[in-house]
Chains A and B, each alone.
Chain A
Amino acid sequence: MSSAPKKKPEDAGVVGFFDDPETLLTATAKVRDSNFKHFDCFTPFPVHGLEHAQGLARSKVGYVTATLAFTGTATAVAFQYYASKVSWPHIVGGKPFNSLPAFVPIIFELSVLFGGIATFVAMMAFNRLPNLGKKIIDPSLTNNRFAILIERPPEQEEDDFVKAPVAVAPFDPLAAEAFLKSLGAKDVRVVRDEGWF
């Protein structure tokens, strides 16, 4: 936030710090099954099974990769056909103008190129990266500690059933603090929204 805050930033959530990934995993699964629907985890390295504990849906990156890879396939076929049969027909090595075997290496390369670049771009976009302007909650999260952040939910939320925004129960920071402590958090704090993650 570059502009000066007009009102006092309110607490955005409650963060609990854990010392090891095992405790984090069991705690995360319990937060997932609790009434706190808005939460996120912060770890210094990828933790196996965390996405399952968080109840995250499978990433859509694979679909982007497949779609763009097959687009690359089609592009390579179309372009080579156009170039060597329609636009500039040349006899090379006595082969027909439209020689599919000769096109295959480029079809393969272009599929890989499109798929590879698409994977990278989609991964960055889905992870909302790069986030150079944002802050980290606590420097230890890039070093030796793990955290669960229970977020203050928005005041209204789109309801899947009635298909309309409905009011959300008010956030109770004290309950969130107590809950995180009961899950084994070593250190629990209320944090303000300063533009992290």
Chain B
Amino acid sequence: MSHHGDHSVTISNPGTVQSKGKQLVFLGLAILGFAVFGISLLTDPTRAWTSFLMGHFYFMGIAVCALFFIATQWITSGAWSSAVRRLAEGMSSYLILALATTVGLCFGMKSLYHWFDRVWVASDPIVSGKAGYLSPQFFAISALVSVAVWVWFRHKLVSLSLGVDQGADGRSTFLKSRVFSTLFIMFFALSFTNIAILQLKSLDPHWFSTMFGVYIFGGFFQCFFAVLAILTIALRRSGHLAKIVNENHLHDVAKWLFAFTVFWAYTGFSQYMLIWYANLPEETGYFLLRFNPSWELSSFALFIGKFGVPFLALLPRANKRTENLVLCAAFWILGMEYFELMWLVQPEFLVGGPRFGLTEAGVWVGFFGLFAWSISRFLAKHPVAPYKDPWLEHSVFHHHI
């Protein structure tokens, strides 16, 4: 029902989510995961570091996409999203830990990246031309500076949003947030592309693709919406967001999830088709490796699983408004994203197809522990919705045609 003439309703403080026990469990998982990493570092460093890279990129990608989402909503004056904005802010609180894992990744350069071998770089006619870019110094400095700047933008945007809870003026906060959001989006586009290229694409130093950055972004932005959907549904069921979020918000989150299913497939296919068409040796090597008999099945499974299944599952309107179905789709998409990372990383090291063993699972659980701990810590400290935000009443009485 519509309440257009009736906007004087005040929204009460929805409170925080107390999670002391859960936070300890998440920290325990993190310790367990990094213990697995430490042990496998002694037995099989390459496997340990590939698992580290996948876990690191997985959650860093989701966290920075959460910040990107917040920025897009400020600059487009997206009123509907203010009901779930605090959840995205919670996800972005992992970024400070992503800075730490980026430092960690720099120690894995030797095991992961062929270009770390400077003698080989000088002897290779193609890679020697990229020697300045594919160098340990540039890798470490550009990644650390980028993530540090993300953390700074995150601090600015989240402090402004939390300030409104403390009584700051909603309108001036909105105008300031727009400025920071605009600057962040421009910086994000360049820095995320650079990080995706350095950390994932340069595993094959010969290969190049100008679509790689946006392709990786599409996958992680989709995953961000998957996590957002899971958190929204969980907090709605636990009652924290029961008076704030309704099925129209769920519908919107699911629409984004659907949209970025298509966007990911669009960028992924565009990248593939141009390389397939032009047939240049430096470019096709990457896909030839992934279409050899041991990876061919995975390549098709990725396309069907990350595009076909969620596309059909989320296409009908009723499905996007059904909590359990959105929940299934969200978990499925998050699983497929890890599978995609395996498809991106592992063929450079393995010949026998994808490998998901105790090491991969354990290290992922470690990163998951850190991510879940950051979110639950943030939501235990701050109200789960920006209840004094002037946009929120529009959002609460959100209505769909």
Q: A residues engaging B (CB < 8 A)?
A: 20-22, 25, 46-49, 51-53, 58, 62, 66, 93-94, 101-102, 104-105
**Is the pair B5, A22 in contact by a Cβ cutoff of 8 Å?**
yes
19 A/B residue pairs, CB under 8 Å, sorted by A: A22-B4, A22-B6, A25-B1, A25-B2, A47-B2, A48-B4, A48-B399, A48-B401, A49-B1, A62-B317, A66-B315, A93-B277, A93-B279, A94-B279, A101-B272, A101-B277, A104-B269, A104-B273, A105-B273
The residues of A that contact B315 with a CB separation of less than 8 Å are 66
Asked whether A48 lies within 8 Å of B269 as measured between CB atoms, the reply is: no
Chain A CB within 8 A of B276 CB:
yes
User: How far is B2's CA from A47's CA once the two chains are assembled, in angstroms?
Assistant: 9
Q: Across the interface, which residues of B come within 8 angstroms of A47, CB to CB?
A: 2
A157–B2 Cα distance when bound, in Å, is 33
A105 CA to B276 CA in the complex, in Å?
14
Contacts of A21 in B (CB 8 A): 4
Chain B neighbourhood of A94, CB < 8 A: 279
Q: Could you tell me the distance in whole angstroms from the C-beta of A138 to the nearest C-beta in chain B?
A: 24
Residues of chain B within 8 A of A58, CB atoms compared = 317
Q: A21-B4, A48-B2 are in contact. Are A102 and B277 (CB under 8 A)?
A: yes
- Which residues does chain A contribute within 8 Å of B269, judged by CB atoms? 101, 104
Q: Which residues of A contact B273 (CB under 8 A)?
A: 101-102, 104-105
Given A21-B4, A22-B4, A62-B317: A101 and B401 within 8 A (CB)?
no
Interface of B, secondary structure class, is loop
Known: A49-B399, A62-B317. A101 touches B276 (CB 8 A): yes
Chain B residues with CB under 8 Å of A93's CB are: 277, 279
Per the bound structure, the CA–CA distance linking A25 and B272 in Å amounts to 52
Q: What are the residues of chain A within 8 A of B272 when measuring CB–CB?
A: 101
Contact bitstring B5-39, A, C-beta under 8 A = 1, else 0: 11000000000000000000000000000000000
Closest to B275 in A: A101
Give the Cβ gap from A61 to chain B, nearest Cβ, in Å. Answer: 11
Task: List, in ascending order, chain A residues with CB within 8 A of B2's CB.
Answer: 25, 47-49
> CB-nearest residue of chain A relative to B400?
A48
Q: Give A66's nearest chain B residue, CB to CB.
A: B315
Chain B positions within 8 Å of A66 at CB level: 315
Name A22's closest neighbour in chain B (CB-CB): B5
What chain B residues lie within 8 Å of A22 (beta carbons)?
Answer: 4-6
In the complex, how many angstroms separate the beta carbon of A195 from the nearest chain B beta carbon?
29
Max chain A C-beta neighbours (<10 A), residue from B6, B272, B317, B401: B401
A93 to chain B, nearest CB (A): 7
Contacts of B276 in A (CB 8 A): 101
With contacts defined as CB atoms under 8 Å apart, how many contacts are there between chain A and chain B in the complex? Answer: 35
- Chain B 349-377 per-residue mask, 1 if CB under 8 angstroms from chain A, else 0: 00000000000000000000000000000
Q: Which residues in A have their C-beta under 8 angstroms from that of B317?
A: 58, 62
Give the residues in chain A near B1, CB-CB below 8 Å.
25, 49, 52-53
Bound-state Cα–Cα, A46 to B315, Å: 25
Scoring A21, A48, A94 by chain B CB atoms within 10 A of each residue's CB, the highest score goes to A48
Bound Cα distance A94, B279 (Å): 10
Contact (A51, B401) CB under 8 Å given A102-B277, A104-B269: yes
Which of A62, A101, A105 has the most CB atoms of chain B within a 10 A radius of its CB?
A101
Q: Interface code B44-70, partner A: CB below 8 Å = 1, 0 otherwise?
A: 000000000000000000000000000
Q: Which residues of A have CB within 8 Å of B5?
A: 20, 22
A20 to B399, CA, bound (A): 19
CA A102 to CA B6, docked complex, whole Å: 55
Chain B residues closer than 8 Å to A53, beta-carbon distance: 1
Tell me which residues from 100 to 130 in chain B have a Cβ below 8 Å from any Cβ of chain A: none
CA A22 – CA B5 in complex, angstroms? Answer: 7
Nearest B residue (CB) for A52: B1
List the B residue with the shortest CB-CB distance to A51: B401
Instruction: State A20–B6 Cα separation when bound (angstroms).
Output: 13
Which A residues lie within 8 Å of B4 (CB)?
Answer: 21-22, 48
The docked-state distance in angstroms from the alpha carbon of A93 to that of B273 is 13
Q: Could you tell me the distance between the alpha carbons of A51 and B317 in the complex, rounded to whole angstroms?
A: 16
**CA–CA, A49 to B276, complex, Å?**
49
The 8 lowest CB-CB distance pairs between A and B, nearest first, are A49-B2, A22-B5, A48-B2, A101-B273, A101-B276, A48-B399, A49-B399, A49-B1
The distance in angstroms between the C-alpha atoms of A53 and B277, with both chains bound, is 54
Q: List chain B residues, Cβ under 8 A from A25.
A: 1-2
Chain B nearest CB from A50 CB (Å) reads 8
Of residues 276 to 306 in B, which have CB atoms within 8 Å of A's CB atoms?
276-277, 279
- Report the nearest A residue to B318, measured CB to CB: A58
Considering the chains assembled together, what is the distance between the CA atoms of A141 and B5 in angstroms?
21
Q: Which of A20, A49, A51, A102 has the most CB of B within 10 A?
A: A49
Tell me the complex Cα distance, A25–B276, Å.
Answer: 57
A21–B4 alpha-carbon span in the complex (Å): 9
A175 CB → nearest B CB, Å: 27
**Which B residue sits closest to A49, measured CB to CB?**
B2
Q: Shortest Cβ distance from A30 into chain B, in angstroms? A: 13
In the complex, A47→B317 CA distance in Å? Answer: 21
CB-CB under 8 A from B401, the residues of chain A are: 46, 48, 51
- Please, what's the 1-or-0 string for B362-401, where 1 marks a CB less than 8 Å from any CB in chain A? 0000000000000000000000000000000000000101
Residues of B within 8 A of A46 (CB): 401
Cα–Cα, bound, A53→B399 (Å): 13
**CA A49 to CA B400, docked complex, whole Å:** 8
Q: Smallest Cβ distance from B226 to chain A, in angstroms?
A: 24
- The listed residue with most A CB atoms (<10 A of its CB), out of B2, B269, B273, B317, is B2
